[in-house]
Structure 1
């Protein structure tokens, strides 16, 4: 069988500690407020990532040498993405 039951005991202990914290009302309130705060921080992080400058995609500026170099090397994903969005 299991030669080292330490992992099992640790998991059971962590589970019982979690249940104990949730069962005790002040700890439950702290846990709920912590998870709400964490959820709002994660949600705001995801919103920041989704606001990408889509206007530039597919419309390279002739004076933007680095962007033109990237497109000439084969990075056409942004152009294809912009074309699909415009066609929809």
Structure 2
């Protein structure tokens, strides 16, 4: 019995097929128009690129990693200002 997984062969086949399919400009245009049509069929909740608003303006004082990141960001601007003024 063959104990090799088929995933690498399937991925190679899909890659080679897509290269051959997209080799001509006519086929590329067809695939692009198909992708635009499929994107139009998706519900808006999957296409929404907004930032989640649950953490905006309400930092958790017990979230140490987030507070350290904010502190480092604030200190970066202070250090940059001090270096430019001292030079």
| Band the TM-score falls in, shorter-chain normalisation | 0.3 to 0.5
Q: Which has the higher contact order (CA 8 A, sep 6+)?
A: 1
Q: TM-score, normalised by structure 1?
A: 0.41
Q: TM-score, normalised by structure 2?
A: 0.42
